[in-house]
Every structure is written in C-alpha cells, then in structure tokens.
Amino acid sequence: MSDIYSTNPRTLGRGICIITGASKGFGRALAHTVSHLLKPGSVLLLVARSENLLQELQKELQSFTEQQQLVVHYIAVDLSTREGVNETVRVAKQEAVNEIDHVLLINNAASLGNISRFASFTDLEEVNSYLSLNVSSALALTAGILQVFPCRPDLRWTVVNVSSIFALQALPSMVVYCTAKAARKMMFQVLAEEEPNVKVLSYSPGPMDTEMQKDILRLTGINYHPFPCQESAAKLMKLLLDNDFPSGAHLDFFKV
Ligand code: NAP
C-alpha cells in the first residue's frame, strides 16, 4: 500500500481506535490504513448501519489483524439515534479493561442531506433528523468515549473530526451540509480549548471517489474530480504520526 507502511517505523501505539462510518468510502479506507499502524493488542471498533458491509470489512482485515494480534469488532447501529450512540459507548467500555496507551476516535460518519434551496427547508423534523446524525451524534459519542477513557498523563487521546471545505465555504443548495460541518468545526475547537490533554484535529479530506461524491455529481452536476480515498487516508495518518499540528486545527488535504 502507501509509502507510510514501508518507510515509517512509527505507530499509533497500542490503541483503541473507533471509526464511525467505517462500512464504506473514506471510513473503510481508514480502517485498512489504521490497522497497519496499531501495535499488537490494539482494538479497532468499526461503526455504521450496514452490518453485511462491516462483516465483510472485518473479514478483509482478518488475515492481517490475526497476525498483528489486533481485535476488530463491528457495531451495526444508526448513529442518529440515542440507542446507536449508547451501544457504541457500551462496546468501547467493554474494551476499557485492556492496557492501551492511545484512544483514537475518528468521527467520520456523515450524510449529504437534501440538496435544495434554503427556502425549501420548512420541515423542522427533517432538519433535526439531519443534525442528529451530522452534529449531535458526534458530540454525544465523543463525550461518551471521553467518559469511558478519562484523560491521564500516560494516555494519548486523539479526536479526529472528518470535516470539509464546506465548513468554511458557503455553497448554494448545501445549507444543511455546510451548517453541520461548520458547527462540528466549532464543536471540536471548544473541546480543544477545554481539554489540553486531548489532541483534536478537524481534517478536510478533499474530494474522494465515494458514494457521497457520486451523489454530489448526480444531484448538482458538479464534478470535483475525486481521487482514491486511500490517498487522503494516508495523509491523515501521516498527520497523526507526526502529531505536530496544534490541537483544534482545521487542516485541508490540499494544504498539508
Ligand atoms: P459515504 O461513502 O457516504 O459513507 C458514509 C459513511 O457513514 C458510511 O459508512 C455510512 O454507512 C455511514 N453512515 C451514514 N449514515 C449513518 C448513520 N445514520 N449511522 C451510522 N453510520 C452512518 O461518505 P464518504 O464520502 O466516505 O464521507 C466520509 C466523510 O468524509 C464524511 O464526513 C464526509 O462529509 C467527508 N467528506 C467527504 C468528501 C468526499 O468527496 N467524499 C469530501 C469532503 C468531506 P452506513 O450506510 O452503512 O450506515
């Protein structure tokens, strides 16, 4: 795979890594990438709704993870619901007995939402439902995992918020997507201010060849010329391995 595996002897430690939206697209690529960088005894938790895709991913990772003594669990839940968030926290808690030195939470799950003009969003329930997955669940899940693994000096703690250029840039007909990404950016900046022992990174991964990107092309006609998810995943991993970004930073694939 990427250069980082062959040339970088560093690792992410003996960690627990939780990836939301791991069944497809960027999250799935991240699961592959992270699995090569965790030390033996680490735990990888893969979260999304599609149980069959998560099962398939677990199998894909199996031969390598067995050899690396890496435990991989999947959690098939809807993160827009209280049950989904609570179940993810519950499973993470079961792993808290293991000796780990790094908690890495990657808040990646998201949806595009309705691509429509501002004036069409009259349905409060539709808006709330969108924000429930794309804003509230990232807050409630991160808070839950922070409680399961309280900060201590010998524990590295990293939270990644998978962001977008649209956290910074307004795009017509993308009001819910832009709003959610902007809210998440601020949410994780507050976490960085509050918790000096938690390293927080908002990472804008650039246009990638995923279902979400296909939907953007189909619904808007805009071709952002996506590239493979693995390229962006490798860049994010390099940022985490170097670990020299300021906590709370919002970094873009094209600028790092
Ligand atoms: P994607 O292909 O649509 O995948 C989204 C992931 O989120 C899937 O694994 C999906 O799994 C999961 N998910 C969606 N709704 C969920 C729910 N209610 N509960 C639990 N999991 C849910 O998207 P992607 O393109 O990989 O995007 C990943 C991240 O990158 C997102 O945060 C996106 O905003 C960001 N991003 C993407 C691009 C791009 O060009 N693709 C550009 C900039 C930023 P299930 O359907 O199985 O639940």
pLDDT for 195-224, tens place per residue? 999 999 999 999 999 999 999 999 999 999
CA of 193 to the centre of ligand 1 (A): 27
Task: Output the residue whose Cα is nearest ligand 1's atom 43.
Answer: 164
The binding-site residues of ligand 1, defined as CB within 6 angstroms of any ligand atom, are: 21-27, 48-50, 53, 78-80, 108-111, 133, 162, 164, 205, 207-208, 210-213, 226
Asked whether residue 232 carries a pLDDT value surpassing 80, the answer given is yes
Give which of 32, 36, 14, 34 is closest to 23, Cα–Cα.
32
CB contact at 8 A, 45 and 109: no
CA-CA distance, 116 to 113, in Å (whole number)? Answer: 9
CA-CA distance, 104 to 195, in Å (whole number)? Answer: 15
| Domain definitions of the chain by residue range | 4-255
Strands (DSSP E) contained in the chain are: 15-20, 43-48, 71-76, 102-107, 156-162, 198-204, 249-252
CB contact at 8 A, 59 and 111: no
Asked whether residue 101 carries a pLDDT value surpassing 90, the answer given is yes
* pLDDT of amino acid 9: 66
* pLDDT of amino acid 96: 85
Greater model confidence, 93 or 3: 93
User: For residue 105, with 0-12 CB atoms within 10 Å meaning exposed, 13-18 middle and 19 or more buried, which class applies?
Assistant: buried
* pLDDT of amino acid 139: 98
CA of 27 to the centre of ligand 1 (A): 7
On whether the pTM is more than 0.95, the answer is yes
Q: At the topology level of CATH, where does 4-255 sit? A: Rossmann fold (3.40.50)
* pLDDT of amino acid 4: 46
